[in-house]
Amino acid sequence: VATRDVHLEQVDRLTGLLARVSRESSAVIRQASRALLAADRDAAAAVLAGQAGRDELHREIDEVVPVLLARRQPVASDLRLVIGAIRMNADMLRMSRLACHIARIARSRYPACAVPPAALEVIAAMADTAARLADKASLVLATRDPIDALQMGLDDDEMDALETQLFILLTDGWPHGVEAAVDVAMLGRFYERIADHAVGVARRVVYLVRGQPIAGP
Amino acid sequence: VATRDVHLEQVDRLTGLLARVSRESSAVIRQASRALLAADRDAAAAVLAGQAGRDELHREIDEVVPVLLARRQPVASDLRLVIGAIRMNADMLRMSRLACHIARIARSRYPACAVPPAALEVIAAMADTAARLADKASLVLATRDPIDALQMGLDDDEMDALETQLFILLTDGWPHGVEAAVDVAMLGRFYERIADHAVGVARRVVYLVRGQPIAGP
């Protein structure tokens, strides 16, 4: 019984750590977007300063996983939680690293805004969609409701549409020069990747609940 | 004894699948670079046509993992192999998806080469470094020699230097216009990501051998 308690305690710890990481990755994406869209240097600095702590949290999860698997053989949903945790942890770490890339671009153009007027609307919409997807991933992780996860597909479709829009902007008489174009193309890519990782987290929650892996990475 | 044999068989199967995926991801990166640098449309088509099979192989590994963990509780190095497999599998899938992105850019500019003269040397060097890192990741997976893994740091440093060189090209009087600049910036990013994932695979092999996670994603 005592060992079983220790096991439950570890599972709870893992669940708690994942929830915390998901909230932090969601928050840091919003912070990076504020740094970018409002040319807010303090926000950019805060994003970058916080990464060491997020890396540490990531390592903590990676260390809990083998302990859980080795000490007690988890079964059914606990086993799926542990397997899912490895991938979700990697997804969420990437999300916060991508937020750092966004903050670095913001910082590199300060006091100007890295996003020139022609692209502001599209990039702001991408930032918003990415943040919404990150929030939903965090919610899905808390509720474990597959319906919430499936609804994320709509936001993801929106991100694809915005990517196409951005691509057209950049290839059809872009007026702001090469440097700004490269910045904006990269920003678009970073937001698209954040969205993809958020969807990945939600997918793994569905796997947790249903016990069946679903298509996709 | 029979169950133990089944267990060993599954571990062997997992090792075999990982080796196969690593060889394939290495091959597809070279094929994508040929598509890009030689404006070879058939190579681009082959890269894209092969992705369904690589996705399938990826799913196969993801399905072996929970079976292995649930049926027999693996210990020590087998446990680490199973945990590592989840992440390595994700890394190698990303590598081949990035190769597809490269092939798509190559195809979009055909019959022209997507890389204009000014960037050809840097991008070719990036392609070469990425392929070398992917080959080494595959080798490390086969030999499980941490020395091989550690030597990959040098290639990774080279990739960083090439990225800086590319950035200077793009910001210092780039003569080929916005569209080509965006293509080239994206290509640089894709090769850098491939390199990063290859280093990730090698890192996880070191973890397999040493039983200690090492710093980094």
Mean pLDDT on A89-115:
97
What confidence score (pLDDT) does residue B212 get? 62
pLDDT, residue B5, reads 65
- pLDDT confidence band for B144 (50 / 70 / 90): confident
pLDDT at residue A146, rounded to an integer: 80
Using a pLDDT cut of 70, give the percent of chain A over it. Answer: 92
Tell me, what's the pLDDT at B26? Answer: 96
Mutate which: A174, A178, A206, vs B, most B CBs within 10 A: A178
- Interface touch A170/B177, C-beta < 8 Å: no
Residue A59 Cα, gap to closest chain B Cα (Å):
8
Q: Do A217 and B177 touch (CB under 8 A)?
A: no
Strand, coil or helix: what is B145?
coil
CB A126 within 8 A of CB A188: yes
The reply to whether A213 touches chain B by the CB within 8 Å rule is yes
| Residue B189 with chain A: CB contacts under 8 Å | 186, 189
Q: A178–B171: do the CB atoms touch at under 8 Å?
A: yes
Cα–Cα nearest to B204, from B196, B195, B213, B191: B213
pLDDT at position A67 is: 83
* Residue from the list A83, A186, A217 with its beta carbon closest to the beta carbon of B86: A83
Q: Which residues of A touch B178 (CB under 8 A)?
A: 170-171, 174, 177-178, 181
- Contact A102/A197 with Cβ under 8 angstroms? no
In Å, how far from its chain's centre is CA A167?
Answer: 22
Note the pLDDT of residue A217: 46
- CA A40 vs CA A32, A124, A158, A163, A194: distances in Å: 9, 15, 26, 24, 21
Task: Report which listed range, A45-54, A62-71, A142-151, is most confident.
Answer: A45-54
Q: CB-based contact (8 Å) between B147 and chain A?
A: no
Q: To the nearest whole angstrom, how far is the Cα of A71 from the nearest Cα of chain B? A: 10
A9 to chain B, any CB pair closer than 8 A? The answer is: no
The average pLDDT across A153-167 equals 94
Structure-model confidence comparison of residues A203 and B9, the more confident one: A203
Contact B65 A87 (CB under 8 A): no
Higher-pLDDT residue of A64 and B215 is A64
What pLDDT is stored for residue B106 in this prediction? Answer: 98
User: Considering only alpha carbons, which residue of chain A is nearest residue B70?
Assistant: A75
The answer to whether B213 contacts A90, with C-beta atoms less than 8 Å apart, is no
**Per-residue pLDDT band at A3 (split at 50, 70, 90):** low
Minimal Cα–Cα distance from B18 to chain A, Å? 16
User: What are the Cα distances from residue B62, in Å, to B69, B86, B194?
Assistant: 12, 7, 21
In whole angstroms, what separates CA B118 from the centre of its chain? Answer: 26
Could you give the angle at the alpha carbon of B151 between the alpha carbons of B148 and B155, nearest 5°?
125
Please indicate whether, in this complex, the C-beta atoms of B181 and A178 are within 8 angstroms of each other: yes
Q: What is the pLDDT of residue B63?
A: 87
Lowest mean pLDDT among A130-139, A150-159, A181-190, B66-75: B66-75
| Mean pLDDT for all residues in chain A | 90
Encoded tokens for B30 = 């070279």
Higher pLDDT, A203 or A96: A96
Q: What is the pLDDT of residue B184?
A: 98
Q: Which helix (H) or strand (E) holds A99?
A: helix A76-109
* B212 DSSP assignment: S
Cβ separation B83–A87 shorter than 8 A? no
What count of CB pairs under 8 Å joins A to B? 76
Give the mean pLDDT of A96-124: 97
Which of B140, B198, B187 shows the shortest CA–CA distance to B163?
A: B187
pLDDT of residue A213 exceeding 60: no
B46 contact A CB<8A: no
Enumerate the residues of chain A whose CB falls inside 8 A of the CB of residue B86: 83, 86-87
The answer to whether the bond into A217 is cis (omega within 30° of 0) is no
Q: Residues of chain A with pLDDT > 90: what percent?
A: 67
Global confidence as pTM: 0.92
- The partner residue sitting opposite A170, judged by closest CB among B90, B182, B217, is B182
CA distance to A46, A74, A95, B141, per residue, from A131 (Å): 17, 33, 10, 37
For B141, what's the count of Cα atoms within 13 Å in the CB-facing half-sphere? Answer: 29
- Residue A31, pLDDT > 90, answer yes
Of B172, B165, B163, B152, give the one whose Cα is nearest residue B193.
Answer: B163
Instruction: Flag whether the ipTM exceeds 0.95.
Output: no
Query: Cis ω on the peptide bond leading into residue A111 (within 30° of 0)?
Result: yes
- Between positions 83 and 142 of A, the ones with CB within 8 A of B are 83, 86-87, 90, 93-94, 97
With a pLDDT cut of 70, the percent of chain B lying above it is 92
pLDDT of residue B114: 97
Mean pLDDT across A167-184: 94
Cα torsion B102, B105, B110, B114: sign = negative
pLDDT at A1: 45
Q: Is B32 an interface residue toward A (CB < 8 Å)?
A: no
pLDDT tens for each residue of B83-131: 889 999 999 999 999 999 999 999 999 999 999 999 999 999 999 999 9
